Amino acid sequence: MKSGREEEENVQAKLEEMTLRECKNEVTGRESLKAKKEKEESFPANSQRIFTDGDLVYVVKLTPSNSQNANRKFYEMSLLEDDTKKYSVKFQWGRSGTEGMSQVFDCGTNLEKAKDLFSRKFADKTGNKWPTSITDFKRIDGMYTMTDVNYLK
At 145 the pLDDT is: 93
What confidence score (pLDDT) does residue 25 get?
60
pLDDT at residue 22, rounded to an integer: 53
Q: Is 63 exposed, middle or buried (0-12, 13-18, 19+ CB in 10 A)?
A: middle
Parse the chain into domains and list their residue ranges: 4-146
* pLDDT tens for the 153 residues of the chain, in order: 556 566 666 655 655 555 544 565 655 555 445 555 555 555 455 489 999 999 899 999 999 988 666 568 999 999 999 999 999 999 999 998 888 999 999 999 999 999 999 999 999 999 999 998 888 999 999 999 998 665 544
- The span from the CA of 9 to the CA of 94, in Å, is 16
Write down the pLDDT at residue 46.
Answer: 47
Chain-centroid distance of CA 52 in Å reads 15
Q: What is the pLDDT of residue 31?
A: 47
Q: Which helix (H) or strand (E) holds 69?
A: none
pLDDT at 118: 97
Report yes or no: 80 and 88 within 8 Å, Cβ to Cβ: yes
